[in-house]
């Protein structure tokens, strides 16, 4: 009996040793997210409790390349390949708060990138439809979102200029790359009382985060924040 008991104890001890680093890593990441929320978001001007909680829940490090994960909760953007970046946490929170997402909303995102912004939107919206022009990034983002259980986020590879007509209209639209002008198809796919948040401006020139509302009196635009985004690219 003793040898058998010894084997059982050794296996159990090994399992505990294997589980410990993973548990510590999860705890470390959760702590880093809490610090990010308190210092970078709440410590500035992000006030919406639902947005803060979504940012606290979504593991940003899962959307960052392995060799950059130690920087995942720092106050800045990071490269993700394909000439694209994952936005600074503050910008993600700012744009999400500006969009005013509720659970009843259907959301369109143009520029999936890593999938991080889509995951945050998915915590708040009923459904999210997101388009990425770089096929490899779209595939990777879809895999990451699936692994995290973001079942209400739907990813498509393609040119986002034309939106997603089959699913239109959208209550909310977010664009995470900067065109020189707002694409007309996106305005056309915005539902009554809908809202679009988009950075607008030429590369190398000032870009402005612009909030567009479709009101009973028509389209109303306002600039909110000076930003710098990658260019809005088109397919061939």
146-195: pLDDT as tens digits: 999 999 999 999 999 999 999 999 999 999 999 999 999 999 999 999 99
- pLDDT at position 233 is 87
Cβ contacts of residue 21 below 8 Å, gap of 6+?
Answer: none
Mean pLDDT in the chain?
Answer: 89
Model confidence, pTM: 0.87
What is the CATH number that goes with domain 38-227? 3.40.50.150
User: With a cut of 50, which residues of the chain have pLDDT below it?
Assistant: 1-24
Residues annotated as catalytic are 87
Which string of b and e fits 164-198 if b means at least 16 CB within 10 Å?
beeebbbbbbbbbbbbeebbeebeebbeeebbbbb
DSSP secondary structure letters along 87-122: PPHHHHHHHHHHHT--TT-EEEEE--TTSHHHHHHH
Give the dihedral of Cα atoms 84, 90, 96, 97; nearest 10 deg. -160
Any idea what DSSP says for residue 70? Answer: G
């Amino acid at each position: 009996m003793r040898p058998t008991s010894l084997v059982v104890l050794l296996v159990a001890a090994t399992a505990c040793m294997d589980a410990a680093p993973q548990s510590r890593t999860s705890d470390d990441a959760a702590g880093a997210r809490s610090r990010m929320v308190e210092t970078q978001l709440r410590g500035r001007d992000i006030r919406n409790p639902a947005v803060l909680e979504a940012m606290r829940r979504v593991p940003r490090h899962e959307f960052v390349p392995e060799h950059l994960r130690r920087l995942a909760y720092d106050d800045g953007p990071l490269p993700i390949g394909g000439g694209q970046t994952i936005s600074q946490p503050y910008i993600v929170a700012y744009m999400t708060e500006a969009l005013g997402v509720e659970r009843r909303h259907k959301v369109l995102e143009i520029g999936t990138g890593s999938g991080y912004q889509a995951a945050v939107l998915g915590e708040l919206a009923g459904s999210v439809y997101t388009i990425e022009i770089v096929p490899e990034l779209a595939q990777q983002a879809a895999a990451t979102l699936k692994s995290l259980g973001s079942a209400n986020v739907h990813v498509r590879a393609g040119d986002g200029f034309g939106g997603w007509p089959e699913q239109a209209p959208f209550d909310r639209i977010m664009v995470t790359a900067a065109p020189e002008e707002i694409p007309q198809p996106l305005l056309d796919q915005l539902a009554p009382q809908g809202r679009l948040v988009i950075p607008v401006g030429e590369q190398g020139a000032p870009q402005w985060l612009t909030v567009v509302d479709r009101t009973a009196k028509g389209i109303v635009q306002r600039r909110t924040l000076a930003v710098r985004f990658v260019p809005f690219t088109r397919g061939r």
